[in-house]
Amino acid sequence: MMAEGNEYIELKFRIYDGADICHSSYASTTTIAFLKQKLVSEWPQGKSVVPKTVNDMKIIHLGKVLDNGKTLSELGVLDGAFAGGVITMHVVIQPVLAKKKPAKKQDEAGKLNSCGCTIL
């Protein structure tokens, strides 16, 4: 019964500039939410893009965005598939505020560019 909980998967996370962070072995029962918390707390200093919360980032593995509530084993992330190799997951940072600001700017730009002229 404990075999599932005792499995460890070696992971590293590649960020936007190609650097790898948080290289370690993680239990197969580790959740994606926990991994995101670890990434936020151990994010390298001096980077131009820094996540402030777990909601600012997405973890991608094999082309899929991983769900916060799932564990590595539930998502089928298995160390054995790579013969003991390190699995690299990609981290995408998308701060929530950054998404809202451009929408406002576009709305304002649309108002500024609209013409209220009447040609007689």
Residue 14 lies in a domain: yes
Q: How far is CA 33 from CA 48, 51, 58, 89, 113, in A?
A: 23, 14, 10, 14, 43
What is d(CA 114, CA 111) in angstroms, rounded to the nearest whole number? 5
Which residue in 43, 44, 41, 39 sits closest to 26, CA to CA? 39
Residue 47 lies in a domain: yes
Q: What is the pLDDT, as a whole number, of residue 22?
A: 94
CB atoms under 10 Å from CB of 13, counted, come to: 23
Facing residues of 57 across strands? 93
Residue 120 lies in a domain: no
pLDDT in tens, 2-54: 344 468 889 999 999 999 999 999 999 999 999 999 999 999 998 888 998 99
CATH number of the domain residue 65 falls in: 3.10.20.90
Structural domain count, the chain? 1
Identify the domain containing residue 99 by its residue range: 3-113
Facing residues of 8 across strands? 27
What is d(CA 67, CA 58) in angstroms, rounded to the nearest whole number? 9
Q: What is the pLDDT, as a whole number, of residue 3?
A: 44
Handedness of CA 78, 92, 33, 52 (dihedral sign): positive
Identify which has the larger pLDDT, 14 or 82: 14
Identify which has the larger pLDDT, 3 or 119: 119
CB atoms under 10 Å from CB of 66, counted, come to: 21
Q: Which residue has the tokens 């997405």?
A: 58
pLDDT in tens, 43-68: 999 888 899 899 999 999 999 999 99
Residue 107's pLDDT band (cuts 50, 70, 90): low
